[in-house]
Structure 1
Amino acid sequence: MKKRGIGLGCSWYGTGYGNGFPDVSSAFVEIHDDGSATVLTGAVDVGQGSNSIFAQIAAEELGLESQDICVYSGDTDATPDSGTTAATRQTYNTGNAVLKAVRQAKSSLLDYAAHEFSCPTSEGIELKEGFIGVKGDPSRRMPLADMVFQARLKGERFISAESSTARSTPVDPETGQGAPYWPYAFGCQMAEVEVNTETGMVRVLKVVAVHDVGKALNPTQVEGQIAGGVTQGIGFALLEELELKEGKINNPALSSYLIPTALDVPSIEALFVEDAECTGPFGAKGLGEPAMLPTVAAIINAIDDAVGVRITSLPATPEKILQGLAEKREGLEK
Structure 2
Amino acid sequence: MKKRGIGIGCMMYGCGNTGLPNPAGAFVDIMDDGTVRVLTGCADIGQGSTTALAQIAAQEIGVPFEDVIVLAGDTGKSPDAGASSASRQTYISGNAVQRAAREAKANIYAMASDMLGVPVEALEGENGIIRVRQQKSAQLLDCQETCQGSLGVNPAPQSDPKGTSVSFKEVVAKCRMNGIMSIGSGWFNPATTGLDPATGAGDPYGCYAFATQVAEVEVDVETGEVRVIQIVAAHDVGQIINPLQCEGQIEGGCGMGLGYALMEEFITDKGKVRTDSFNTYTIPTAMDVPLIHAMVVEDKEATGPFGAKGLGEPALIPTAAAIANAIYDAVGVRVRSLPISAEKLLTQIKEGGA
| TM-score, scaled to structure 1 | 0.92
2:300 is matched with which residue: 261, 276, 281? 276
1:125 CA drift (Å): 4.0
Residue equivalent to 1:5: 5
1:128 partnered with 2:126: yes
Residue identity over aligned pairs, in percent, reads 49
Counterpart residue number, 1:91: 90
| Alpha-carbon distance in structure 1 between the residues aligned to 2:346 and 2:127 | 63
Secondary structure, counterpart of 2:315 in structure 1 = coil
Q: Distance in 2 between matches of 1:54 and 1:165?
A: 17
Match of 2:312 among 288, 291, 294: 288
Matches within 5 A, 1:1-334: 1-20=1-20, 22-114=21-113, 116-117=114-115, 119=117, 121-132=119-130, 138-139=162-163, 141-172=165-196, 176-329=200-353
- Give the deviation of 1:173 after TM superposition: 6.0
5+ residue gaps, structure 2: 135-160
User: More deviation in 311-320 or 160-169?
Assistant: 160-169
CA contact (8 A) 1:117 1:134 kept: no
Q: 2:42, 2:72 within 8 Å by CA — same for their partners in 1?
A: yes
TM-score by length of 2: 0.87
**Counterpart Cα distance in 2 of 1:269 and 1:72:** 34
Structure 1 unaligned blocks of 5 or more: none
SS at match of 1:46: coil
Conserved? CA contact 1:189–1:208, under 8 Å:
yes
Corresponding residue for residue 147 of structure 2: none
Alpha-carbon contact 1:33-1:146 (below 8 Å) kept: no
Q: Contact conserved, 1:29 with 1:161, CA < 8 A, in 2?
A: yes
Contact 2:42 2:93 survives alignment (8 Å): yes
Q: Secondary structure at the match of 1:290?
A: helix
Aligned length: 328
Q: Which range is displaced more, 240-249 or 266-275?
A: 240-249
CA RMSD for the aligned pairs? 1.9
SS at structure 2 position matched to 1:282: helix
**1: distance between equivalents of 2:345 and 2:164?**
73
The 1:120–1:144 alpha-carbon spacing in structure 2 relative to 1, beyond 3 Å, is: closer
Q: Is the 8 A contact 1:188 1:211 kept in 2?
A: yes
Deviation at 1:31, TM superposition (A): 1.2
Q: Distance in 1 between matches of 2:103 and 2:56?
A: 14
Please give the alpha-carbon distance, in whole angstroms, between the structure 2 residues aligned to 1:161 and 1:260.
43
- 1:31 and 1:191 map into 2 onto residues whose CA distance is 48
CA contact (8 A) 1:212 1:275 kept: yes
Give the distance between the partners of 1:34 and 1:211, measured in 2 at CA: 40
